[in-house]
Amino acid sequence: AHIAGLVATVARAVHHAHQRGVLHRDLKPANILLDGAGQPQVTDFGIAKLLAGDGSGPLSMTVLGTPGYMAPEQAAGGTQLTTAADVFSLGAILYRLLTSHPPFEAPTPVATLQQVIEREPAAPRSCNATIDRDLETICLKCLNKDPQRRYQSAEALADDLERWLADEPITARPVSHAERIWRWCRRKPLVAALWFGLAAAMVVG
């Protein structure tokens, strides 16, 4: 829960930057510092780029960023990046916090970039079986190779993490009607107990 809350706070800070036309491009654990109150602060905007009006920004063919945490379109030296690149990096940070290693890791930076572009990350639960399935789903949605299939904003990621923290259905995947009822019962056990008691009494009657 602490990890999800921390990444949600970071995601909201990144969204704040995006709203002001700034793309970070180098989000990674080393650039997230905790202040005296234990709150995360996003630092090192050294390679940040101003976004164009359409949410994209020019980028030269020189690859800038940290290989294990950059989006595939950034690793490939694309000419334009969108806020989806930072969403990918937020997912990579969440992956690192959940599994203790980045989603892509190789002996050399070039080999790592190749993994980012060509390979799918191992499911977090394959590294740590105690990770909640919905939290894994949130993480992997961020790490989708297709920018259009990630969260459409860092704010949307933060919202889903906060839904998970509140034990509410996440938007990253469809939730069955039965699961929605189960989650509601977990959030409101007293009301659920009364409801099921009434239903049982009606059946017996």
What are the residue numbers of the active site?
A: 26
Taking residue 183's Cβ as centre, other Cβ atoms within 10 Å add up to 17
* Burial of 87 (C-beta count, 10 Å sphere; 0-12/13-18/19+): buried
For residues 101-129, b (16+ Cβ closer than 10 Å) or e, as one string? ebbbeeeeeeebbebbeeeebeebbebee
